């Protein structure tokens, strides 16, 4: 296939005669005519069955880049239930696996190929029943997949043709290195292996050496002057700690006809802010974090995908790979741990071709050096100004914390969790717990006086 011609013309219709017509029909049903850059550069190699490493920004269209070749190959090989699993797709989170399955389902329309979502949090017997029926494409998280490979006789992988490792950097960051290594050792070696990642660090390179053949095709579309997509308008706002709740209330009120994602540093902080804004501010809010049950996370994710407006309060579990349509604003209420996490958070908006979105990062005055730090990573931020919010909401929160036991308990847990996250922040020169005014921080959670904090007191005693 003429790669240069494909990239120049950038139209899926030129694949007519080269891939199964039903895939082209499915792309047409999805309203897709032009491939993204990573799709245009990856498809010629993947359709030829080559091992592949792809580096691209979040929101660049990596999912279709590997799904189109996978589906086409299995169709052409005449895969049926009796052949078992022809492709395994590894995802770092349940939400990303669910999203991949949703796209896959659309591509498989009018085909006989079977697929299944195999993730933790679901009943294992249900998985076994599904796998025993013959699943051609398995989308899974590492822990659950390794479990089945080791213990489920009905899981037939002897005809495996392709392994896709999606969001490889996130898989390794999340501590799945041993799981992935174990999976690779149990799979047939005569397969195509595809690895996609937002960043290619030494851990990803080590994984590539283990999983791929010695001559993979490497494509990177991240080497431009800006680390985030061009349709993204991004900035920061200097907000004192004790004004954060009033600011967020005003932000949600002004954007009530839009879709907003708000990132917090901990699950407990999500729970507290969700309870306050949903039940006492009557805001349209959904929450998602890693300590919720799988059914609740799945329901929350689907609800926000289908919503046309409202807010999602979340941790970084929602920062990677999720393709949520038409997100207008990303609010980083608590700081990210590093520039990569910043990029993944803001990558939930301005996704795909010609899409736009906005993002704002809240910082204390003492944290403004983080802006210069991001600029060195090719992440330019404007300085935003907002109207001063009213303190009515702050007073309401303080009254609730004083008089409502449920809110007070949630607030205290969130406050302590916020301090713990702040204390262990990797960028200690910028996010320094010693410069944090505990009285001001406590007010951000509705306390007039800071609750007692054992781990900070103990730290001071040890130092003495």
Residue-wise pLDDT for 384-439, tens only, equals 988 888 889 999 999 999 999 999 999 999 999 999 999 999 999 999 999 999 99
Indicate the pLDDT class of residue 356, thresholds 50, 70 and 90.
Answer: confident
Indicate the pLDDT class of residue 352, thresholds 50, 70 and 90.
Answer: low
Q: Is the CB of residue 35 less than 8 Å from the CB of residue 47?
A: no
Quick: pLDDT tens for 276-307: 999 999 999 999 998 998 888 889 988 998 99
Between CA 177 and CA 160 the distance in angstroms is: 21
Give the residues across from 259 on adjacent strands.
310
Backbone phi, psi, residue 47, to 5°: -65, -20
Indicate the pLDDT class of residue 462, thresholds 50, 70 and 90.
Answer: very low
What are 266's two structure tokens? 């901990």
How many residues comprise the chain? 464
Sheet holding 357-363, edge to edge: 285-288, 310-314, 259-263, 329-332, 357-363, 232-238, 382-383
Quick: pLDDT tens for 89-119: 999 888 889 889 999 999 999 899 999 999 9
Between CA 376 and CA 386 the distance in angstroms is: 26
- The per-type count for the chain, helices as H runs and strands as E runs, is 19, 14
113 CB contacts (<8 Å, ≥6 apart)? 71, 74, 75, 79, 136, 137
Is the pTM for the entire model greater than 0.85? no
Nearest CA to 242 out of 456, 447, 406, 421 is that of 447
Q: Is the pLDDT of residue 7 over 60?
A: no
Cα dihedral 252/253/254/260 (nearest 10): 30
CATH superfamily of 3-220: P-loop containing nucleotide triphosphate hydrolases (3.40.50.300)
- Identify the pLDDT of residue 344: 81
Locate CATH 3.40.50.300 in the chain: 3-220, 232-459
Between CA 348 and CA 329 the distance in angstroms is: 9
Indicate the pLDDT class of residue 3, thresholds 50, 70 and 90.
Answer: very low
Q: What is the SS3 assignment for 197?
A: strand
In this structure, CATH architecture of domain 232-459: 3-Layer(aba) Sandwich (3.40)
């Amino acid at each position: 296939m003429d790669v240069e011609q494909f990239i120049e013309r950038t139209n899926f219709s030129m694949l007519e005669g080269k891939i199964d017509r039903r895939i082209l029909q499915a792309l047409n049903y999805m309203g897709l005519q032009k491939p993204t850059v990573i799709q245009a550069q990856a498809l010629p190699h993947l359709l030829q069955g080559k091992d592949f490493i792809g580096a691209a920004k979040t929101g660049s269209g990596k999912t279709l880049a590997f799904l189109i070749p996978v589906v086409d190959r299995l169709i052409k090989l005449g895969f049926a239930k009796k052949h078992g699993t022809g492709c395994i797709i590894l995802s770092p989170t349940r939400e990303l696996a669910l999203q991949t399955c949703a796209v896959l389902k659309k591509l498989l329309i009018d085909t006989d190929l079977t697929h299944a979502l195999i993730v933790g949090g679901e009943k294992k017997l249900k998985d076994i029943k599904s796998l025993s029926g013959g699943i051609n494409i398995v989308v899974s998280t590492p822990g659950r997949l390794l479990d089945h490979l080791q213990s489920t006789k009905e899981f037939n992988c002897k005809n495996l043709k392709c392994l896709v490792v999606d969001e490889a950097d996130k898989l390794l960051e999340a501590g799945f290195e041993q799981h992935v290594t174990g999976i690779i050792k149990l799979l047939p070696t005569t397969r195509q292996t595809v690895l996609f990642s937002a960043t290619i660090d030494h851990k990803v390179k080590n994984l590539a050496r283990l999983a791929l053949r010695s001559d993979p095709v490497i494509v990177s579309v991240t080497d431009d002057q800006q680390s985030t997509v061009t349709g993204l308008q991004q900035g920061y706002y200097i907000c004192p700690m004790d004004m954060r709740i009033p600011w967020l209330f005003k932000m949600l009120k002004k954007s009530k006809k839009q879709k907003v994602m708000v990132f917090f540093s901990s699950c407990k902080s999500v729970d507290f802010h969700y309870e306050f804004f949903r039940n006492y501010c009557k805001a349209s809010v959904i929450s998602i974090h890693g300590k919720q049950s799988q059914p609740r996370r799945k329901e929350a994710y689907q609800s926000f995908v289908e919503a046309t407006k409202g807010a999602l309060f979340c941790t970084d579990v929602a920062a990677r790979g999720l393709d949520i349509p038409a997100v207008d604003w990303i609010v980083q209420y608590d700081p990210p741990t590093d520039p990569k996490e910043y990029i993944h958070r803001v990558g939930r908006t301005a996704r795909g071709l010609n899409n736009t979105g906005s993002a704002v990062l809240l910082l204390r005055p003492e944290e403004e050096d983080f802006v210069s730090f991001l600029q060195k990573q090719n992440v330019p931020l404007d300085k935003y100004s907002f109207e001063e919010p009213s303190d009515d909401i702050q007073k309401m929160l303080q009254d609730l914390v004083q008089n409502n036991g449920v809110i007070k308990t949630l607030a205290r847990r969130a406050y302590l969790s916020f301090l713990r996250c702040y204390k262990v922040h990797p960028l200690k020169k910028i996010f320094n717990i010693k410069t944090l005014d505990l009285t001001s921080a406590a007010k951000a959670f509705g306390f007039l006086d800071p609750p007692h904090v054992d781990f900070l007191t103990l730290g001071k005693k040890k130092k003495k």
